[in-house]
Amino acid sequence: MNHTVYSIDGKETHSIELDDAVFGLPMNEDVIWYAINNELANRRQGNASTKDRGEVHGSNAKPYKQKGTGRARRGDKKSPVLVGGGVVFGPKPRDYSYSIPKKAKRVAIKTILSLKAQSDMLKIVEDFSIESGKTKDLVGLLKNFGDEVRTVLILKDDDPKLKQAASNIPWLSYLSYNRLAAHDLFYGRRVLMLETAAKNLNGFYAEKVQEAAE
């Protein structure tokens, strides 16, 4: 498919050919859900922790005798029914991460790219950099492509100056073309992709498809 390329001023300049195997796939909600939930699980720290009655500091003695007081039978002060006592079945540190097949992750990324391209949420921009590394310079450039909405910027390489400028913009996230995240990409209301990144994606996923076939 052909897709328009914009200058940094937001004006149409020329068109680029996008591989239908990457940007022309039909919607696949299942694989997208699968990939996004995997990323969210892998991001969890899993460090929530509570103390059970055996870990709470305190005496093991009964607060009063078993019989003759007219009160309910009571164990030690670390009982879960008392304030400050142990927690029953509370969370403990654990690892929530798990892996999914690489093929499924690639299909999810390509499906999301196709969704963005087909819904006109994808804009391909001529390669640029922010030599000053200043946020205000990047914000001024992004204004040429619309209002401040949740935006994803796909880079062609590891550009430290561009990343420095983008790191202070709350509504902007940046991804390298070979390290795309399904969650950020899917929930981005606008995707700006550098022209070289678009060309690299064509070859990057074409190579993966060829490897899988072999």
User: How far is the CA of 210 from the CAs of 19, 26, 177, in angstroms?
Assistant: 14, 20, 18
Return the bridge partners of 190, or none. Answer: 151
What pLDDT is recorded for position 39?
Answer: 96
What pLDDT is recorded for position 210?
Answer: 46
What pLDDT is recorded for position 214?
Answer: 42
Question: What value does the mean pLDDT take over residues 172-181?
Answer: 92
What would the pLDDT profile of 153-170 be if each residue is shown by its tens digit?
A: 999 888 899 999 999 999
Helices vs strands, H then E, count in the chain: 7, 6
Tokens representing residue 187 in the block? 């929930």
User: How far is the CA of 123 from the CAs of 51, 142, 171, 191, 200, in angstroms?
Assistant: 51, 12, 17, 6, 16
Residues above pLDDT 70, as percent of the chain? 96
Residues above pLDDT 90, as percent of the chain? 70
Work out the pLDDT band at 206, boundaries 50, 70, 90: low
Distance between CA 1 and CA 135 in Å, rounded?
34
Q: Which domains does the chain have, with CATH numbers?
A: 2-45+100-213 (3.40.1370.10), 51-90 (no CATH)
Question: What value does the mean pLDDT take over residues 185-189?
Answer: 95
What pLDDT is recorded for position 102?
Answer: 92
Question: What value does the mean pLDDT take over residues 182-188?
Answer: 95
Type of residue at 148: E
Distance between CA 140 and CA 160 in Å, rounded?
19
Of 29-43, 89-103, 193-207, the least confident: 193-207
Q: Is the pLDDT of residue 209 over 60?
A: no
Tokens representing residue 127 in the block? 């390669």
Among residues 159, 167, 38, the alpha carbon closest in space to that of 109 is found at 38
Average pLDDT, the chain: 90
Residue 175: φ, ψ to 5°? -140, 145
Q: Is the pLDDT of residue 40 over 60?
A: yes
